Amino acid sequence: MKMTYREAVRQAMHEALAADPRVFLMGEDVGKYGGTYACSKGFLEEFGPERIRDTPLSELGFVGAGIGAALGGLRPIVEVMTVNFSLLALDQIVNTAAALRHMSGGQFSVPLVLRMATGAGRQLAAQHSHSLENWYAHIPGIRVLAPATIGDARGMLGPALADPDPVVIFEHAQLYNLEGELPADWRCDIASAAVRREGTDVSLITYGGSLPKALAAAEQLAAEGIAAEVIDLRVLRPLDTATLAASLRKTHKAVVVDEGWKSGSLAAEVMACIVEQCFFDLDAPVARVCSEEVPIPYAKHMEEAALPQVPKIVAAAKQVIGK
Q: What is the pLDDT of residue 323?
A: 80
Q: State yes or no: is 50 an active-site residue.
A: no
Q: Does domain 2-181 have CATH number 3.10.110.10?
A: no
Catalytic residue among 7, 28, 79, 128: 128
- Per-residue pLDDT at 260: 97
The per-residue pLDDT for 202 is 98
pLDDT attached to residue 1: 87
pLDDT at 305: 97
Among this protein's residues, is 133 annotated catalytic? no
Q: Do domains 2-181 and 194-321 have the same CATH topology?
A: yes
**Sites in the chain below the pLDDT cut of 50:** none
User: What local confidence, expressed as pLDDT, does residue 71 receive?
Assistant: 97
CA dist 5 and 182 (Å) reads 9
Straight-line distance from the first to the last Cα atom of the chain, in angstroms, rounded to the nearest whole number = 41
Nearest to 199 by CA among 230, 168, 175, 170: 230
**Separation in Å, CA 20 to CA 51, 70, 154:** 11, 14, 17
Domain boundaries, the chain: 2-181, 194-321
Does the global pTM surpass 0.85?
Answer: yes
CATH topology of domain 194-321: Rossmann fold (3.40.50)
Rounded to whole angstroms, the Cα distance separating 223 from 201 reads 13
Residue tagged active-site, from 7, 14, 28, 59: 59
For residue 195, the cross-strand partners are 231
